[in-house]
Amino acid sequence: MCECSEKLIAWMDGELADGEAAAVQQHLEGCPACQSCLASYRLASASFAEYCDAATASVVAPRARLKVPRWAFAAAAAASAVALVLFVPKHGTMSPASARENAAANQSTPRSLAPAPASPALAPIDPAAVGEVHSSAAPAAERRPGNLAVFPRRAKSEHVATSGLSVRPVANVPVRSEGSPAGEPAIEIAFSSDSIFPAGAMPEGVSFVAEVTLAADGSAEQMRLQPRLVEFQERKVRP
Amino acid sequence: MSGESIPLGATLPRFATRTRETTILYRELRKPLLRYLVCLGLSADEARDVVQEAFVSLQEHLAAGRSQENMRAWLYRVAHNRARNRQTSYDRRFSGPLEGAEIATMLDERTPERRILQLEKFGQLAGAVRQLTDQERECLLLRGGGLRYREIGEVLGLPTSTVGDTVERAIKKLAEKCNV
């Protein structure tokens, strides 16, 4: 029995240090007995893998079914569209962001969670404002850019290419914040998941809602994420 | 996050990064994890549940800002421990006698000749696999999932040298029993 025979499997698995591996390889080149052992180990290893594959296929394949992973909801949002509904500030110091609309963004932005508001219409965020949401209705001096910064800035060309971001008020979402005028709309921000997640990582029609409580300084005090199956919800309301 | 003021502009990108990491790991490891769990003896539904639980745990792990080193071994360890908790089914596949009908479900049905050869081969392998200890089976399965000896040791709570010895012993047993 060669001394190297005890190291053949570790060598086969690439578990030996460089020096040891080189010594085993050199030995193997001149030792038919070890070559034969190595071949049998490789075959045993491959047979075991084949056996496990067959055992797995016999159990899993016949009963395979489409199942949306639960973790995906927690992970939230590698769907074709991701929607965030941001609620007005708890302390009422920040104006609720209203929206601006852009027809191009409206066409290309994937389905969003809530029904389209009557007005104002959808508006794209210009590249300079990506990462910021502020009211177009309010005078410029009253705007508070950066308070709802949620997205990384992107180059203009990329933004146009993906048209991945739009902002609009959501009229029918209950505002739970304290101290804010009644009826102030929450804000929906929709952006393409392709800008964040690997393509095809999540099934179509998954979005999520983020309920965000904002502090006086505009930072997020609390955030709660809730998954939504957009397609499912839409099917429910359609005849 | 309650009571703590965290800029939203920092929170969501972190969330997106975690989700991206989880998604990549899910796509890479879902099938190997399923294979590992099924071969440990779990049913398909049990294995799917355990895989999902493992990825939920991963998401929580990342959300809590815990270590992100070697998440592959971490996922296998979580899945392994959860499989262990389902002890009733854990040993079913390999420790009990594998019936001919069960082996038959594993066969490729392309040609009768190939089917016969596979039946003989898998019957032989089933006998050899049953001779392995739990630890040897687990080491081989994890090795088959592409884990290094060190990672296998992390999953099973064994020193790396013990893993090496166990893998070697298991492979030699298989080679001997199968006469390959």
Q: What is the Cα–Cα distance from A26 to B176, expressed in whole angstroms?
A: 26
Confidence (pLDDT) at B123: 79
Burial class (CB in 10 A: 0-12, 13-18, 19+), B118: buried
Of B11, B23, B149, the CB nearest to A223: B11
Is it true that the peptide bond before A110 is cis, omega within 30 degrees of 0? no
The architecture (CATH level 2) of B1-90 comes to Orthogonal Bundle (1.10)
Q: What is the pLDDT of residue A107?
A: 39
Chain B residues with CB under 8 Å of A45 CB are: 171, 174
Would you say residue A51 has pLDDT above 80? yes
CA-closest candidate to residue B34, choices A69, A154, A96, A114: A69
CA gyration radius for chain B? 20
Question: What SS3 state is found at A186?
Answer: strand
Mutate to test the interface with A, among B1, B2, B8 (most CBs of A within 10 A): B8
Task: Say how many C-beta atoms besides its own lie within 10 A of residue B50's C-beta.
Answer: 24
- Scan residues 139-168 of A and list those with Cβ closer than 8 Å to B: 146, 148-152
Locate the domains of chain A by residue range. 3-63, 70-237
pLDDT tens, position by position, B132-156:
898 999 999 999 989 999 999 999 9
Assigned token pair, B113: 């000749």
**Whole-number Å distance between alpha carbons of B160 and A83:** 47
Cα dist. A106→A148, A165, A236 in Å? Answer: 21, 9, 23
User: Residue A189: is its pLDDT beyond 90?
Assistant: no
pLDDT band for position A148 (50/70/90)? very low
Do the beta carbons of residue A123 and residue A105 sit within 8 Å? yes
Dist CA A191 CA A194 (whole Å): 9
Residues A60, A65: Cα–Cα separation, whole Å: 9
Chain B neighbours among A 85-144 (CB < 8 Å)?
131
Q: How far apart are CA B5 and CA B75, in angstroms?
A: 31
pTM: 0.54
Distances in Å between the alpha carbon of A216 and those of A75, A137, B5? 28, 21, 10
Packing angle, helices A32-60 and A18-29, rounded to 10? 110
Return the higher-pLDDT residue of B135 and A193.
Answer: B135
ipTM: 0.79
CB B51 within 8 A of CB B25: no
Inspect the interface and report whether the beta carbons of B126 and A54 lie closer than 8 Å.
no
Question: Which SS3 state, helix, strand or coil, does residue A220 take?
Answer: strand
Contact A221 B129 (CB under 8 A): no
What is the domain partition of chain B in residue ranges? 1-90
The pLDDT of residue A134 is above 50: no
Chain A residues touching B168 at Cβ < 8 A: 6, 9-10
Check CB contact of A178 with chain B, cutoff 8 Å. Answer: no
**E strand or H helix that includes residue A132:** none
For residue B22, pLDDT beyond 60:
yes
Mean pLDDT (whole number) for A104-122: 36
Q: Tens of pLDDT along B34-52?
A: 999 888 888 888 888 899 8
Q: How many C-beta neighbours within 10 Å does residue A226 have?
A: 13
CA angle, corner A34, sides to A31 and A39, nearest 5? 125
Say which residue the tokens 């949002």 belong to. Answer: A77
pLDDT at A9: 94
CB contact under 8 A, A44 and B180: yes
Query: Among A55-69, A144-158, B166-180, which range has the highest average pLDDT?
Result: B166-180
Look over chain A and give the mean of its residue pLDDT values, rounded to a whole number.
56
Beta-carbon separation of A56 and B149 below 8 A:
no
Tokens of B20: 């991206």
Give, in degrees to the nearest 5, the angle at Cα B137 between B131 and B142: 165
Tell if the CB–CB gap between B107 and A221 is shorter than 8 Å.
no
Q: Count Cβ atoms within 10 A of the Cβ of residue A138 and give its class: 0-12 exposed, 13-18 middle, 19 or more buried.
A: middle
Q: E strands within chain B?
A: none
Identify whether the C-beta of residue B51 lies closer than 8 Å to the C-beta of residue B79. Answer: yes
User: Would you say A85 and A76 are in contact if contact means Cβ atoms under 8 Å apart?
Assistant: no
Contact B106, A58 (CB under 8 A): yes
Confidence check: pLDDT of A172 > 60: no
Amino acid (1-letter code) at residue A119 = S
Q: Work out the end-to-end distance of chain B between its first and last CA atoms, rounded to an integer number of angstroms.
A: 59
The answer to whether the CB atoms of B23 and A70 lie below 8 A apart is no
Question: What 3-state DSSP class applies to A169?
Answer: strand
State yes or no: pLDDT of B166 exceeds 70.
yes
Q: Does A82 touch chain B (CB under 8 A)?
A: no
